[in-house]
């Protein structure tokens, strides 16, 4: 018989979780009349449930390093942390004293990356990237099949894909970056501890649940405050500005080899913001709009993001996007999702430089005066078809 844990038995732990989630509500309460709008109230309550759902998955379910499994922690049903519409995110629990095998089909995503966190991702901001391997160095067969071992020490004689992890390792994240949503195919992956025996020798214990629930409390409290702080840094940036961070700043715990662009847009309904950006030599780039809570604007049913494959460059090699509430009838429209004030986010992957985009507010009726004459027109019927195909591709990819 396993040992009893008083906080589980008495219900005190459930009370603690309830208080932590109630405390997290501070991020969705507005004292300023200018921000207390029906849209923000509605999105705020939904965000609170999304963040709880993501935390429950990461902390409570994907929590057994002896018998790990991959689960998605951001997708069409759960947007948070300014998730990238071009990425499938999956996470599994690991322990630094075990050796694991990941095997399966890598798929055909534009970029594929596996990174290990020390300690667990839920301990944000107190975690770091332990080690990583990506599609440049991961060896796979012609059909995409591969095997990767990871652990504290490479097995004797093993010459295949290997990733060394340290004693503090707590979680593992796989990112698949898609540039062509319609054709690129997601991976099929399995992770297992090489010393696992089946069935597991012991069922779930009260001590297991207590440890997982305490991690969920920290997710709601400390990590929640951190993500809210990061969001506010973007929202409080000068109006209609975006700056990229150095690549070195992603090394602590973001996406390795990616420069993040963070800023804000402020756009009344009858105006538009024109973003201009000259792409550097890089493997991937994208821009997207986000709301007050660092959620990406409904990216599967609205054109709120564009990547290097989806965007149209002008004849001078510049990407010019129009951020607006209503469709301006140009290819590179970024939908505000009804927000007059929100975040604008950029990403540069494996880039040789970090440029500085420009943003300026103009009357919506005069948008074409600020764009090259060769900018094509997009009719309402064409836009409807584009977004219909976008939505279909997104849901097919994320249901895989």
pLDDT tens track for 29-85:
777 777 788 999 999 999 999 999 999 999 999 999 999 999 999 988 888 999 999
Say if residues 330 and 376 touch (Cβ distance below 8 Å).
Answer: yes
d(CA 296, CA 141): 35
Report residue 42 as tokens.
Answer: 């509605």
**Residues 103, 109, 110, 114, Cα dihedral to 10°:** -40
- Global pTM reads 0.96
| Average pLDDT of the segment spanning 282-303 | 96
How many CB atoms are located within 10 Å of the residue 275 CB?
A: 22
**Helix/strand number for the chain, H first, E second:** 6, 18
**Tens digit of each residue's pLDDT (9 = 90 or more) over 105-134:** 999 999 999 999 999 999 999 999 999 999
The residue range of the domain holding 28 is: 6-228
- Write down the mean pLDDT value for the chain: 95
250 pLDDT above the threshold of 90: no
- Same domain, yes or no, for 158 and 261? no
How many CB atoms are located within 10 Å of the residue 86 CB?
A: 30
Cis peptide before 199 (omega within 30 of 0): yes
- Same domain, yes or no, for 224 and 307? no
Kindly state whether residue 24 falls inside one of the protein's structural domains: yes
d(CA 156, CA 171): 25
- Same domain, yes or no, for 294 and 319? yes
| Average pLDDT of the segment spanning 306-312 | 98
- Residue 294 φ/ψ, nearest 5 degrees: 65, 30
Last residue of a domain, one of 197, 228, 259: 228
Task: Report the percent of the chain where pLDDT is more than 70.
Answer: 100
How many CB atoms are located within 10 Å of the residue 183 CB?
A: 9
Kindly state whether residue 1 falls inside one of the protein's structural domains: no
d(CA 253, CA 115): 9
Q: What is the CATH number of the domain that holds 282?
A: 2.60.120.1600
Number of domains in the chain: 2
How many CB atoms are located within 10 Å of the residue 180 CB?
A: 14
């Amino acid at each position: 018989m396993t040992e009893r844990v008083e906080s589980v038995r008495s219900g005190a732990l459930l009370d603690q979780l309830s208080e932590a989630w109630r405390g997290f509500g501070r991020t969705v309460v507005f004292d300023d009349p200018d921000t207390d709008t029906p849209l923000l109230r509605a999105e705020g309550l939904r965000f609170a449930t999304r963040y709880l759902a993501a935390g429950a998955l990461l902390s409570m379910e994907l929590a057994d390093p002896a018998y790990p499994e991959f689960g998605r922690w951001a997708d069409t049903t759960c947007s948070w942390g300014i998730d990238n519409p071009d990425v499938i995110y999956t996470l599994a629990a690991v322990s630094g004293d075990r050796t694991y095998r990941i095997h399966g089909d890598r798929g055909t995503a534009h970029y594929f990356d596996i990174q290990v966190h020390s300690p667990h991702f839920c301990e944000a901001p107190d975690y770091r990237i332990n080690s990583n391997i990506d599609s440049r160095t991961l060896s796979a067969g012609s059909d995409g099949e591969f095997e990767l071992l990871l652990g504290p020490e490479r097995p004797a004689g093993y010459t295949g894909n290997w990733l060394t992890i340290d004693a503090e390792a707590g979680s593992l994240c796989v990112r698949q970056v898609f540039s062509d949503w319609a054709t690129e195919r997601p991976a099929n992956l399995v992770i297992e501890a090489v010393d696992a025996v089946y069935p597991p020798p012991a069922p779930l214990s009260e001590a297991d649940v207590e440890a997982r629930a305490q991690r969920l409390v920290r997710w709601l409290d400390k990590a929640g405050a951190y993500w809210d702080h990061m969001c506010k840094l973007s929202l409080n940036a000068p109006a209609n500005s975006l700056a990229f961070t150095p690549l070195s700043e992603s090394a602590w715990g973001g996406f390795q080899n990616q420069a993040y662009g963070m800023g804000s847009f402020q756009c009344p309904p009858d105006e538009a913001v024109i973003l201009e950006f000259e792409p550097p030599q890089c493997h991937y780039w994208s821009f997207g709009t986000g709301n007050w809570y660092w959620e990406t604007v409904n990216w599967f049913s609205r054109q709120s993001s564009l990547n290097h494959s989806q965007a149209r460059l002008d004849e001078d090699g510049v990407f010019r996007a129009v951020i607006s509430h209503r469709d301006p009838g140009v290819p590179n429209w970024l939908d505000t999702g009804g927000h007059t004030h929100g975040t604008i986010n950029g990403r540069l992957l494996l880039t040789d430089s970090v440029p500085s985009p420009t943003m300026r507010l103009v009357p919506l009726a005069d948008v074409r005066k600020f764009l090259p004459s060769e900018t094509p027109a997009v009719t309402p019927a064409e836009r409807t078809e584009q977004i219909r195909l976008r939505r279909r591709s997104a849901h097919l990819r994320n249901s895989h």
